[in-house]
């Protein structure tokens, strides 16, 4: 359990596949653009092709950044071993950084083109929030890319995805009060926010699990299933979501969510949940942070989206279905393919699975027929 949570947390922060040995890069260019760190790595067999990589959510205050992380090159082996240079920005700030991720990734791409020449092929790829950045870049700057590889992406509209975390807390606090922070505490900027040290993660998750043991096990399991979670994952998701919601409170300067008119359903006892759920009114306009680069589904370049069959943070409904519906509404189905794996966890892909998805995208862009959607072993 301890090892699983540590690996899981690292994958959320960095968006890395594990247990990969990349070739030693022939050249590394790292530094800062307008104060924002970056790293570019070139393989020995560079084919004048480029992958712009967008990393996932980094909890505010964590010391790990892409430009300093020694494991980052290892995680990029799937691209480097195919002759692609890889470039990644740290982003201007941590936490929810969709807008900064798009802008800083684009700034780095321009830097790369000016210094090394425009590649003959450019892809955008990313895990988790970086997958959302990947989609936003194809939607807004697709003319500069040949295709996109969003992996376990934040592909719903940003409000929809983060509202899920808000609703989980609102209903959990109604049914199981006193175990985690209330929404009032999380969105009160005069109150202390949750600690950001990753070293407290396991301890806090175990505390939540022990406190839940005092309640009806069947009820806790049903609550977890309502939010597409395995019961053992609920404590860590609560830990993680508290930091996400506090990050939003600080970035917005208040609460962007209003559930005073929400009628919750799908629980074991909907009446009890609605009578007990924590209710808050919004104090700030959600569009101030959520509107820029928000999801549209208006794509004009090939996208191969890969998702696990089970994901604690971005369930398939949020990682695939919502975006698929937007693409269909835009009449852009010809540019969209979904691949899925039997992975049991957020971004829990093997390097071989990522390589297969990337190769399908590359073949499609080179003029082959559109890949078949479906299962990747």
Which among 301, 297, 312 is positioned nearest to 347, based on CA atoms? 312
Q: What is the arithmetic mean of pLDDT over 20-44?
A: 87
- CB neighbours of 92 closer than 8 A, spacing ≥ 6? 35, 36, 100, 103, 104
What local confidence, expressed as pLDDT, does residue 295 receive? 96
Report the residue count for the chain: 377
Distances (CA, A) of 63 to 9, 41, 60: 13, 21, 9
- CB neighbours of 134 closer than 8 A, spacing ≥ 6? 54, 124, 125, 126, 148, 149, 150, 153
What local confidence, expressed as pLDDT, does residue 117 receive? 98
Domain ranges of the chain: 2-156+297-375, 158-289
CB 108 within 8 A of CB 34: no
The rounded distance, in Å, linking the Cα atoms of 16 and 187 is 31
pLDDT, tens digit, for every residue of 332-349? 999 999 999 999 999 999
Enter the tokens of residue 179.
Answer: 């175990």
Whether the pLDDT of residue 22 is over 70: the answer is: no
Instruction: Give 30's strand partners.
Output: 39
Name the least confident of 20-24, 104-108, 276-280, 307-311.
20-24
Q: Please, which pLDDT band fits residue 169 given cuts at 50, 70 and 90?
A: very high
User: Up-side HSE of residue 146: CA atoms within 13 Å toward CB?
Assistant: 18
Residue 75, classed as helix, strand or coil, is helix
The rounded distance, in Å, linking the Cα atoms of 304 and 376 is 12
What local confidence, expressed as pLDDT, does residue 196 receive? 47
What local confidence, expressed as pLDDT, does residue 59 receive? 85
What local confidence, expressed as pLDDT, does residue 18 receive? 45
pLDDT, tens digit, for every residue of 187-201? 999 987 765 444 577
User: Up-side HSE of residue 140: CA atoms within 13 Å toward CB?
Assistant: 17
The rounded distance, in Å, linking the Cα atoms of 55 and 154 is 12
Name the least confident of 186-200, 265-279, 301-315.
186-200
Residue the block writes with tokens 């699990």: 209
The rounded distance, in Å, linking the Cα atoms of 87 and 137 is 15
| CATH fold of 2-156+297-375 | Rossmann fold (3.40.50)
Instruction: Give 133's strand partners.
Output: none
């Amino acid at each position: 359990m301890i090892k699983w949570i540590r690996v899981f947390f690292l994958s959320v922060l960095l968006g890395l596949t594990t247990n990969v040995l990349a070739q030693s890069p022939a050249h590394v260019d790292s530094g800062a653009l307008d104060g924002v760190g970056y790293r570019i790595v070139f393989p020995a067999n560079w084919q004048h092709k480029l992958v712009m990589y967008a990393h996932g959510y980094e909890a505010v205050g964590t010391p790990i950044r892409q430009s300093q992380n020694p494991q980052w090159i290892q995680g990029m082996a799937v691209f480097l071993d195919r002759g692609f240079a890889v470039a990644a920005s740290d982003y201007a700030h941590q936490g929810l950084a969709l807008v900064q991720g798009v802008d800083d990734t684009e700034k780095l791409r321009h830097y790369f083109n000016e210094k090394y020449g425009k590649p003959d092929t450019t892809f955008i790829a990313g895990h988790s929030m970086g997958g959302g950045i990947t989609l936003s870049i194809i939607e807004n700057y697709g003319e500069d890319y040949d295709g996109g590889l969003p992996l376990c992406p934040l592909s719903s509209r940003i409000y929809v995805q983060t509202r899920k975390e808000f609703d989980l807390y609102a209903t959990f606090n109604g049914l199981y009060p006193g175990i985690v922070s209330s929404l009032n505490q999380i969105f009160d900027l005069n109150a202390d926010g949750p600690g950001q040290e990753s070293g407290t993660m396991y301890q806090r998750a175990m505390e939540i699990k022990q406190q839940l043991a005092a309640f009806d096990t069947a009820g806790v399991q049903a609550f977890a299933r309502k939010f597409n979670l395995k019961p053992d994952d609920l404590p860590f998701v609560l830990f993680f979501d508290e930091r996400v919601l506090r990050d939003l409170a600080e970035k917005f300067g208040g609460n962007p969510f209003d559930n005073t008119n929400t009628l919750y359903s799908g629980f074991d006892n909907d009446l009890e949940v609605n009578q007990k759920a924590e209710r808050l009114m919004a104090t700030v306009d959600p569009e101030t942070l959520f509107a820029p680069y928000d999801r549209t589904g208006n794509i004009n370049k090939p996208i191969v989206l890969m998702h696990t069959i089970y994901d604690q943070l971005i369930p398939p409904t949020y990682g695939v279905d919502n975006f698929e519906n937007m693409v269909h509404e835009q009449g852009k189905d010809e540019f969209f393919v979904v691949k899925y794996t039997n992975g049991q966890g957020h971004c829990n892909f093997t390097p071989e699975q990522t390589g297969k998805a990337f190769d399908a995208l590359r073949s499609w862009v080179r003029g082959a027929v559109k890949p078949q959607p479906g299962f990747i072993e």
